[in-house]
Structure 1
Amino acid sequence: MMDHQQLFFSGFDYGLSNLSIVKRDGRVVPFDIGRIYAAVEKAFRAERKKSAGDNLSKEDLLAIEEITNRVAIKSAALANRGERLEVERIQDLVELTLMELGHHTVAKRYILYRAERGKARTIQNREGASIHMIDRRGNTVPLDLAWIHRMLMEACRGLEDRCLWRDLAEETVRGLYDNIKEEEILQAMILTARTWVEKEPAYTYVAARLMLSKIYQEALLIVPSIHETAAYHRAYFPNYVQYGVKIGRLSPQLLEFDLERLAQALKLERDKQFTYLGLQTLYDRYLLHHEERRFETPQYFWMRVAMGLALNEKSDKESWAITFYDTLSSFLFMSSTPTLFNSGTVHPQLSSCYLLTVEDDLESIFKVISDNAKLSKWAGGLGNDWTNVRATGSLIRGTNGKSQGVIPFLKVANDTAVAVNQGGKRKGALCAYLETWHLDIEDFLELRKNTGDERRRTHDMNTANWIPDLFMKRVLENGSWTLFSPSDVPDLHHLYGKAFEKRYLEYEQMADKGEIKLFKRVSAMTLWRKMLTLLFETGHPWITFKDPSNIRSPQDHVGVINSSNLCTEILLNTSAEEVAVCNLGSVNLLAHLDESDNIDEKKLENTINIAVRMLDNVIDINFYPIPEARNSNLKHRPVGLGIMGFQDLLHRKKVPYASVQAVELSDRLMEMISYYAILSSCNLAKERGAYPSFRGSKWDRGLLPIDTIELLEQERGGFVEVDKSRTKDWDFVRKKIKEHGLRNSCLLAIAPTATISNITGVSQSIEPSYKNLYVKSNLSGDFISINPYLVEDLKKLQLWDQEMVDDLKYYDGSVKHIERIPESLKELYATAFEIDPSWLIECASRRQKWIDMGQSLNLYIDEPNGWKISQMYIMCWKKGLKTTYYLRSRAATTVEKSTLDINVRGIQPRWMKSRSPSSNIKVERENKEKNACALDSECESCQ
């Protein structure tokens, strides 16, 4: 032993002289610290490329001594706790200590050494022969255990305190077989990591990092070393763009950018933000591919989208592309799915939603159906207004026959939506709207039933009631309601507020006098009950309110809002000449929290400025499948800025959803977003000019969304229970609008954000937590979803263990009945069905007062009955909501907990019993008759 080693060991005394080590063959030998020193020294020499006769630097010798010292102390501590010291355990301590002290390259050498030594020992099949694998070149070679270790060690880097790469390696190897392909081994590592998410949420990042290796290999065609990946990634970027243009997938305009400058702006480290669900979703449906090969990496994808949105920037478009890239790739703001699909491609259809009105003639009916197909082809979500179409029994003057009404045409529209599946990326999606006085309304309510004449059923199309205020008043007073054919009352659909009420009463009088022959009088309450019963049974039609949508519309000077869109958040004027278009994107609230978990207002303001500019750019760049859409979009220039991650925000701030604090936070946060969004559009108007139809709008008349609540009260004659508090200087906003106008007629809409929330790894939109542990199922497969905030809080209380995992499974993701969890956490982590709906409605009401369009609001009800549901929707109406979305109720069945011990937890409560066998985690697939859009299925039509 060399002098410095002798000096080191002579002073070493940690009580190890009596310790023993268990060898792999079971022999017990004395603890020898010299073997640890020698092994670490070999690793340093291998990394430094020094032979046994060469001297190491003083710094390396000191590092070797420190590592050996720490391993010895840890070994002694383990022994004192009664742990059996085995060779593998000591070697694990060496690896961990090397990484803790930052010697990652030396750790790699040490791992390679261990792997080579252990290969023959640990990788054998039943006959004792070594397992072989087929590498990427098609050669059969011995299984490369060192490669498996390197991959898993790198995937766990920075997560070592929560994720154990060696355990992952052992589990992966256990399932391998002889002559397995290299790509199958990588997939086995990914699957192993993703299955451990239920025990430790951080494994989702491990699985994602392994998935990145697969993507890099596929897109870059080689597998660069860990230290070369970022540089190679940047160097290859121009090739990616040129290749995409060559094969006809990317726009040739992208070649006009300074590609070298953009390449240097790529931040590969941002790939580590992805959860596994987010990255798998991106891989399956967003990354461009050619001949079944993805040729985009995630950072290429973000830059491609950013370049596509910067094409028309007049000055230094590279700077704007980099700004847009940074905003997207940092998950500060996310454009909607059509924008992500198509930006920078040869068909840049970037808009999310299209609203069409059907006129009462065959030419218009089939033109709209044809237009639906063209719009759906390019990933647009569709909302159709069918109220103008005459009702069953109406006279057809041209043939002197009688109409079959609107239902048969809706069947054709439904089948068209199914046939055009948006290029295989996602299902075509359509929502049909009908006003409540239409004579076919009762048949319309039954469209989604699973029984009856199949020719009068639309199982794939969403439906929604377009309800005037007068009907709600009649319900409250238990009055009658008259149904008409629009062919007899042609102006009724285009009136709202007091004007509608006056004209409707006149038509009722005409019916009483016999001047209108075709009508039907029903009890308003009876019809209301049928509407709610079918909503509960089939999930449709949704409840949306015509009058607040129109009365509070900024664009009341250019027409009428006849319906909403597919997801009920877009409220724009439509006509035969104008197909309304909206361009969506959402701010990630979680990404705007500071170190104290408060909203960083300056950061939020900056993000909104960039986001509004990106959304406005969409309007000019967009590919319009039909001229009516282009006409409308360029004339009014509406955009829909929304939010996502609201539940994450509450969890981070330790605020229960069912609380006054959450309501107040909803109010102030939406006020802040509205304030900066309007000012951003005002600044754009100063730079680019106001939107063409600005003159005469409510904006032009000095009326902001907050000012229109009083108009609703006046038109409705009461029945408005909306808080009117405000904190910002709104007079300043009015002054700026008067000076410069606005670039966009509408600015705010909260969409569902199903898919883009998955990509960014946050909770959807304004939704409460569905469950704290469940399996999310979408087009990319099944994914374990666990609430990481709950896990961290339970860890702090030393309550997170296998028993807690099993308890969460047993109680279907609810903490309500787990006795050892404190009440404060039960309140904080109450799930959607455990929160009284009034809290969701009040939060939505506070947001709605600041929003010029609407919000996609799901409602949840546990143990529903008719009275509860009725009161819930009447509250929505009185609280000033413009629309609602799905009514969620619990599934008719749940999964049997076949892997849990009922002797420990008892027999399942009645509400949890199941008629279907098992898995150890509940997969949420709602009964289709109960709820046609199950929570585990993605409602991703808009985002």
Structure 2
Amino acid sequence: MAIEKVMKRDGRIVPFDESRIRWAIQRAMWEVGVRDDNLLDKVVKDVIDRINELYEGQVPHIENIQDIVELELMRNGLFEVAKAYIIYRKKKAEIREEKRKILNKEKLDEIDKRFSINGLRVLASRYLIKNEEGKIVETPKELFERVAILAAIPDLLYDERMFSKEGTYIQDLKRVEYYLQNFENFDSIYTIGRFKLNKYQFERMVNLYRELAEKGKMKVSIDEFLNMLKNGEFDKYEGVIEEFFNLMVNQVFMPNTPALINSGRPLGMLSACFVVPIEDDMESIMKAAHDVAIIQKMGGGTGLNFSKIRPEGDLVGTTTGAASGPISFMHLIDAVSNVIKQGGVRRGANMGILEVWHPDIEKFIHAKEQNVGTNILSNFNISVGMWADFWEALKEGKKYPLINPRTGKKVKEIDPRSLFEELAYMAWAKADPGVVFFDVINKRNVLVPAKGEKIRATNPCGEEPLYDYESCNLASINLAKFVKYDDEGKPYFEWDEYAKVIMKVAKYLDNAIDVNKFPLPEIDYNTKLSRRIGVGIMGLADALFKLGIRYNSKEGYDFMRKATEYLTFYAYKYSIRAAKERGPFPLYHKTEYPEGKLPIEGYYHKEIWNLPWDELVEDLRKYGVRNAMVTTCPPTGSVSMIADTSSGIEPIFALVYKKSVTVGEFYYVDPIFEAELKKRGLYTDEILQKISDNYGSVQGLEEIPEDVQKIFVTAMDIHWFDHLLAQASIQLWLTDSASKTINMPNDATVEDVKAAYLLAHALGCKGVTVYRDGSLSIQVYNVEGEKRKRISAKPSEYAKKILREIVEREPWINKLIDIEAIIDGTNGKEIPSFSLSPSGKASAIKENSSNERKIKDLIGIVYCPICYEKDGALVELRMESGCATCPKCGWSKCVIS
């Protein structure tokens, strides 16, 4: 009788799975270069036969099975394979021991085992609950359960026994207030199936009841509802909790960082980023400083547009004095952020925007230039907000007027090309400012009639354009999880499963709005007017590796477009269904949605559709839509580390790099690339060192086969225009925007930056962040050591085709940039000669880079503040998804990730 069950190390009895034995033996064979399927089949059969012979009618322990594998490998004369298997087994034991140390527990459960050491370190350092002594008192399983339980709570209150869309019911709210005031007495009293609600989940549930009851939408009283809950009448929603839980622990999707930290906990804030308005009066400015403080205290980030503030030197009517200008108030907000340590997890993150017509725009462009080592505006990303009239002036070579926002009158005229040159120069030198294209953002903005104005601000990393006091509520789906293999081992993408998961994640985010504890009443009100959500993606690079598709290729861009088209289509699909059941977002009827318009560019290009958008829009006009916006691509920093996948929509930073830990150094190898090397018998320490010394790239290494070099490309193997094409391909189908770094090599020129800005706008991007390798760092600190010269990336053939099409369509662009020079890599010969600042100071970074500068002055600019504050480690930040990010712990200046 064949063995059916096996005992795991934690005592669980699970079904016997022959495929796990096959994979372990195959892995060991690959390790020593043995690739023989017939031999593999024989060894597996011998192992299974011996297990059945020795343990007939019993339940063997996993260790017994592994002993048999070792023995049978040696019986078949595969001594080197047996040795590799023993080493692998020993390594697995060491990994288990390391995980136990990280989590401070004796036994690992089935959830702990699913996450890598790296993922568990991130969870332990930033997400799991700790007691007052700093000891972990929560397991990963408990974390994901508290997140899933909270997210399922709205389903109970929207149950047809409870909810009425018409809103004709009156309930006694005094009883509701009683429960809210005494919520701490209801810890673990109520359950949904096997899941207990803690007091904070209970409070959020009652708060949602109150909100719906105030609108007349609750059919039964709060006491009746709680009795129904106590009697198990909502236990069927245990399945919803299980679904959200399984998707997270299987690393299929992850919510943004605040949701993981705050779900079912006292702060209760699930949103990552907010936009705070700031008007041209002291009351508004100080209110903005207050709002920023409250938001960042709770772990959020803020975006502010300073363009309404009168310019420096302008008249102050109440005192007849001179105004200090918008940049002075940016310093005020920066100081507020500086003193707020967000629970020890983050420092403040802001996006500061000034529109291109403002009289102080030149000062703004140079705002982060001076005093390089002293963290000037270190809590800010800054961006210039551009409108169509600036592009027209640039195109025509006409003077561009600067307007005083207080009077609405022209102050002076400037040469737009000169300003554009300065903007590009500072981005080249300092990776700031970025640019935000408000004309593109508002081109398909269906909310303008409802809001009465255009969007003029974004969150700190720019991927979420928001109105005043709106918030972004985000989660990312791991694309790599949908790559499957057919019977012949060929990879394919499971589009139907992907579509189902998109709808589930959209539901998670829609529910999260209802149970979110927003930091300010204005944010609660405005967020719920539009119910904006952002279903995003991560693991793009890993998915392409698995599929054997090069990132910067026509096939790669086609995949990106299709993946985001599916993302938005099925997010809308859920949102329309939710509107039918729960009602559309409150502003729906005042928007352009009822006219059949959508806030996505791809919808207006029917020739590229893969899905029936006309049918979807017909349903949308019939039932409405629950969420005003549904998709975005945020940075995923530590979130992708937890999911053990590549970050956001970025190509991988390095295939191999040296990592320093307390016990020494080792090579980190991308898991998919590692498997490919082992499959081909190429995995050796010598190869790893060569790749590491080649900037983590395999390009130009003769030991690496050409087909591997073709697929396994890194961020710096890809030309900056191909990075732009990736962003534009993804942007085409998003309702909001995408966070992406446009990587340039260290020897890129200001001409390259200018070209990137012009071409990004021409491609329909909503904003762009250019990063020249090394511009973030203080040049004197070189942690890499001597390296071989990096092979210069050239535009892909597809990129060259698109470049030429742009110039044919917009011939004026070629007057400002040289397309042919971009193609052959000679774009820009010299650094412009003009001074970096109006004052003429700080004309080069290196001049300010003395060894005497204290390390503490560099925190927040070059090095990770978390790693530095925790153990004094100087971990250099790198640009990822448009934001400075720590490769070790996942800390990012953007609070989403």
SS at match of 2:594: coil
Letter paired with 2:155: E
- Taking structure 1 as reference, are residues 868 and 896 closer, same or farther at Cα in structure 2, changes over 3 Å only? closer
State whether residues 568 and 631 of structure 2, in contact with CA within 8 Å, keep that contact through their aligned partners in structure 1. Answer: yes
- What is residue 299 of structure 2 aligned with on the other side? 379
- What is residue 480 of structure 1 aligned with on the other side? 399
Mapped pair 1:594 → 2:484: yes
State whether residues 809 and 897 of structure 1, in contact with CA within 8 Å, keep that contact through their aligned partners in structure 2. Answer: no
Mapped pair 1:925 → 2:808: no
Q: Distance in 1 between matches of 2:676 and 2:308?
A: 55
Q: Distance in 2 between matches of 1:745 and 1:588?
A: 24
- What is residue 685 of structure 1 aligned with on the other side? 579
- What is residue 135 of structure 2 aligned with on the other side? 293
Q: Distance in 2 between matches of 1:679 and 1:109?
A: 50
State whether residues 287 and 294 of structure 1, in contact with CA within 8 Å, keep that contact through their aligned partners in structure 2. Answer: yes
- Aligned match of 1:659 in 545, 550, 553? 553
Q: Distance in 1 between matches of 2:54 and 2:440?
A: 61
SS at match of 1:551: coil
Letter paired with 2:641: N
What's the TM-score, normalizing by structure 2? 0.69
- Taking structure 1 as reference, are residues 612 and 207 closer, same or farther at Cα in structure 2, changes over 3 Å only? farther
**Greater relative contact order structure (CA < 8 Å, 6+ sep):** 2
- Taking structure 1 as reference, are residues 897 and 437 closer, same or farther at Cα in structure 2, changes over 3 Å only? closer
SS at match of 1:312: helix
Mapped pair 1:830 → 2:724: no
Q: Distance in 2 between matches of 1:107 and 1:594?
A: 27
Letter paired with 1:212: K
Mapped pair 1:364 → 2:284: yes
Q: Distance in 2 between matches of 1:395 and 1:95?
A: 87
Shift of 1:933: 2.4
Shift of 1:777: 9.3
- What is residue 703 of structure 1 aligned with on the other side? 597
- Taking structure 1 as reference, are residues 109 and 727 closer, same or farther at Cα in structure 2, changes over 3 Å only? closer
Shift of 1:730: 0.8
State whether residues 602 and 733 of structure 2, in contact with CA within 8 Å, keep that contact through their aligned partners in structure 1. Answer: no
Q: Distance in 2 between matches of 1:644 and 1:428?
A: 24
State whether residues 383 and 436 of structure 2, in contact with CA within 8 Å, keep that contact through their aligned partners in structure 1. Answer: yes
- Taking structure 1 as reference, are residues 383 and 886 closer, same or farther at Cα in structure 2, changes over 3 Å only? farther
**Could you say which structure has the larger radius of gyration?**
1
- What is residue 845 of structure 2 aligned with on the other side? none
SS at match of 1:731: helix
Shift of 1:216: 5.8
- What is residue 938 of structure 1 aligned with on the other side? 891
Tell me, which stretches of 5 or more residues in structure 2 are unaligned? 1-8, 10-27, 33-45, 68-80, 160-233, 793-849, 852-872
- What is residue 152 of structure 2 aligned with on the other side? 310
Shift of 1:328: 1.4
- Taking structure 1 as reference, are residues 549 and 207 closer, same or farther at Cα in structure 2, changes over 3 Å only? farther
Deviations 1:80-125 (A, max 9, x none): xxxxxxxxxxxxxx9999999998967858999xxxxxxxxxxxxx
Matches within 5 A, 1:883-902: 883-890=767-774, 892=779, 894-895=782-783
- What is residue 274 of structure 1 aligned with on the other side? 115
- Taking structure 1 as reference, are residues 97 and 370 closer, same or farther at Cα in structure 2, changes over 3 Å only? farther
User: May I ask how many residue pairs the two structures share in their alignment?
Assistant: 666
- Taking structure 1 as reference, are residues 723 and 458 closer, same or farther at Cα in structure 2, changes over 3 Å only? farther
- What is residue 312 of structure 2 aligned with on the other side? 392
State whether residues 647 and 657 of structure 1, in contact with CA within 8 Å, keep that contact through their aligned partners in structure 2. Answer: yes
- Taking structure 1 as reference, are residues 895 and 724 closer, same or farther at Cα in structure 2, changes over 3 Å only? farther
Q: Distance in 1 between matches of 2:741 and 2:632?
A: 15
SS at match of 2:593: coil
Letter paired with 1:289: K
Letter paired with 1:815: V
Deviates more, 1:439-448 or 1:758-767: 439-448
Deviates more, 1:769-778 or 1:794-803: 769-778
- What is residue 738 of structure 1 aligned with on the other side? 621
Mapped pair 1:532 → 2:448: no
- What is residue 655 of structure 2 aligned with on the other side? 772
- What is residue 726 of structure 1 aligned with on the other side? 609
Q: Distance in 2 between matches of 1:161 and 1:704?
A: 60
- Taking structure 1 as reference, are residues 741 and 402 closer, same or farther at Cα in structure 2, changes over 3 Å only? same
Matches within 5 A, 1:413-424: 413-424=333-344
- Aligned match of 1:627 in 521, 526, 545? 521
SS at match of 2:448: coil
Shift of 1:162: 9.6
Letter paired with 2:752: K
Shift of 1:844: 2.1
- Taking structure 1 as reference, are residues 593 and 910 closer, same or farther at Cα in structure 2, changes over 3 Å only? closer
State whether residues 855 and 884 of structure 1, in contact with CA within 8 Å, keep that contact through their aligned partners in structure 2. Answer: no
SS at match of 2:414: strand
State whether residues 753 and 770 of structure 2, in contact with CA within 8 Å, keep that contact through their aligned partners in structure 1. Answer: no
Deviates more, 1:359-368 or 1:585-594: 585-594
State whether residues 337 and 349 of structure 2, in contact with CA within 8 Å, keep that contact through their aligned partners in structure 1. Answer: yes
SS at match of 1:812: coil
Shift of 1:758: 0.5
- Aligned match of 1:551 in 443, 451, 460? 443
Mapped pair 1:470 → 2:353: no
Q: Distance in 2 between matches of 1:657 and 1:390?
A: 46
Q: Distance in 1 between matches of 2:478 and 2:647?
A: 10
- Taking structure 1 as reference, are residues 460 and 571 closer, same or farther at Cα in structure 2, changes over 3 Å only? closer
What's the TM-score, normalizing by structure 1? 0.65
Deviations 1:365-390 (A, max 9, x none): 11111111111111112111111111
Letter paired with 1:312: P
State whether residues 444 and 600 of structure 2, in contact with CA within 8 Å, keep that contact through their aligned partners in structure 1. Answer: no
Letter paired with 2:627: N
State whether residues 351 and 582 of structure 1, in contact with CA within 8 Å, keep that contact through their aligned partners in structure 2. Answer: yes
Q: Distance in 2 between matches of 1:872 and 1:840?
A: 10
Q: Distance in 1 between matches of 2:239 and 2:458?
A: 37
Matches within 5 A, 1:57-206: none
Q: Distance in 1 between matches of 2:140 and 2:52?
A: 30
Q: Distance in 1 between matches of 2:535 and 2:739?
A: 13
State whether residues 554 and 852 of structure 1, in contact with CA within 8 Å, keep that contact through their aligned partners in structure 2. Answer: no
State whether residues 924 and 934 of structure 1, in contact with CA within 8 Å, keep that contact through their aligned partners in structure 2. Answer: no
Mapped pair 1:209 → 2:93: no
- Taking structure 1 as reference, are residues 797 and 437 closer, same or farther at Cα in structure 2, changes over 3 Å only? same
Shift of 1:164: 6.2
Deviates more, 1:281-290 or 1:438-447: 438-447
State whether residues 643 and 766 of structure 1, in contact with CA within 8 Å, keep that contact through their aligned partners in structure 2. Answer: yes
Deviations 1:561-610 (A, max 9, x none): 11111111111222xxxx01110001111112222432222211221121
- Taking structure 1 as reference, are residues 401 and 591 closer, same or farther at Cα in structure 2, changes over 3 Å only? same
Q: Distance in 2 between matches of 1:110 and 1:330?
A: 25
State whether residues 114 and 249 of structure 2, in contact with CA within 8 Å, keep that contact through their aligned partners in structure 1. Answer: no
Q: CA RMSD in A?
A: 3.6
Q: Distance in 2 between matches of 1:414 and 1:626?
A: 20
Shift of 1:925: 2.5
Shift of 1:467: 1.0
- Aligned match of 2:459 in 565, 573, 590? 565
State whether residues 442 and 454 of structure 2, in contact with CA within 8 Å, keep that contact through their aligned partners in structure 1. Answer: yes
Mapped pair 1:859 → 2:753: no
Q: Distance in 1 between matches of 2:367 and 2:266?
A: 38
Letter paired with 1:549: I
Shift of 1:442: 1.3
- Taking structure 1 as reference, are residues 99 and 878 closer, same or farther at Cα in structure 2, changes over 3 Å only? farther
SS at match of 2:696: coil
Letter paired with 1:825: V
Matches within 5 A, 1:12-91: none
Letter paired with 1:298: P
Mapped pair 1:794 → 2:677: yes
State whether residues 694 and 790 of structure 2, in contact with CA within 8 Å, keep that contact through their aligned partners in structure 1. Answer: no
Q: Distance in 2 between matches of 1:101 and 1:869?
A: 69
- What is residue 8 of structure 1 aligned with on the other side? none
- What is residue 336 of structure 1 aligned with on the other side? 256
SS at match of 2:767: coil
Shift of 1:454: 7.1
Deviates more, 1:297-306 or 1:812-821: 812-821
Mapped pair 1:810 → 2:651: no
Q: Distance in 1 between matches of 2:443 and 2:750?
A: 30
- Taking structure 1 as reference, are residues 703 and 786 closer, same or farther at Cα in structure 2, changes over 3 Å only? same
- What is residue 26 of structure 1 aligned with on the other side? none
Q: Distance in 1 between matches of 2:732 and 2:497?
A: 24
Deviations 1:186-222 (A, max 9, x none): xxxxxxx6xxxxxxxxxxx76653343236654xxxx
Letter paired with 2:431: G
